[in-house]
Structure 1
Amino acid sequence: MMSGMQANTVSTIAQTIQLSLSPVFMLTGIGALLNVLVGRMARVVDRVRDLEKLHPAASGPERDRYVWELRILDRRIKIINAGLFLAVSSAVMTCLVVAQLFIAELIGLHIATMVALSFTLAMLLLIAALVCFTIEVRTSLRAVTVREELLEHQ
């Protein structure tokens, strides 16, 4: 049979696990964001490779259009890369929050301020990653403009 101290410890660990569920759900969301960002990066890289093949043979306005699009794609790569770094940093900070919760509980540290600051930093990094995602989406829309000469006016 469990002594009172062991039962209290198990109960405390159970409470700590419950507390750490919110950061774990946040990790799931960050993972989904990372998946989207990596997918967008792959599509950008594929388009860059296609344009790099077409560019040398092009001339005039067609070549100018390829250069213009390559510049936008280069900017998108940089923005996505920043977003990936920020999202991964947020995930690392979130994992640190979970670890801090368990370590503090197991050895009796009073680090509530440090846990709160770590979680706040994780959220700020996630917000910055989402801002990068928004900027990248808006940047990508600039590259999808339909040339006027291709539109058939009625």
Structure 2
Amino acid sequence: MNIQIGDIGHIIQLSIAPVFLLTGVGTFLMVLINRLARIIDRSRVLEDRLDVGYNDTYLNELDTLYRRSHLINVSITLATSCALLICLIIAMLFLDDITNLPLDKYIAGMFVLAMMCLIGSLVSFLREIFIASAAMRSHRHVRQPVE
């Protein structure tokens, strides 16, 4: 098997689009991780306050934070799965071109699976945002105006 420089250039061209997608998923993962870090930080503050004394407001907020962290973890898992599938797609594109194995159906199937993971991740993220927004609005109504 003799691989020409032009063949490698063609393979690299084929893998460019998935690499851009991988960059976007990586950036999205950073957003998710930052949100999870903020949720964890706020949970620690509330748990410390609960150690001092019982408060229903803190418990309710902790419940909301736990629900949000669960959704973020689901989103992170799905986004990471998407990234792994994209990496496999890139590797399979190279194998398909180098070995002449008929991998096109597998590549297409993995791409569909990667998109399903990305869609699931975005839906979970959107649900987390809705919960965070609703909690923010409900806390605003609980507070009494300062006179």
TM over 0.5: yes
Note the residue ranges of structure 1 that are not aligned, 5 or more in a row.
none
One-letter amino acid of the counterpart of residue 138, structure 1:
F
How far off is 1:111 after superposition? Answer: 1.2
1:47 match: 42
1:95 match: 87
* Larger deviation, residues 11-20 vs 124-133: 11-20
One-letter amino acid of the counterpart of residue 128, structure 1:
G
1:133 match: 125
Deviations 1:28-64 (A, max 9, x none): 00011100000000000000000001113344xxx11
Aligned mates of 2:7, 2:51 — CA distance in 1: 66
Secondary structure in 1 matching 2:101: coil
2:22 match: 27
Deviations 1:52-109 (A, max 9, x none): 01113344xxx11111100000001110111000000000000000000001111111
1:106 match: 98
How far off is 1:152 after superposition? Answer: 6.3
Note the residue ranges of structure 2 that are not aligned, 5 or more in a row.
none
| Over 6 Å off, 4+ runs | none
How far off is 1:134 after superposition? Answer: 0.7
Residues 78/120 of structure 1: CA separation in 2 closer, same or farther (3 Å cut): same
Root mean square deviation of aligned Cα: 1.9
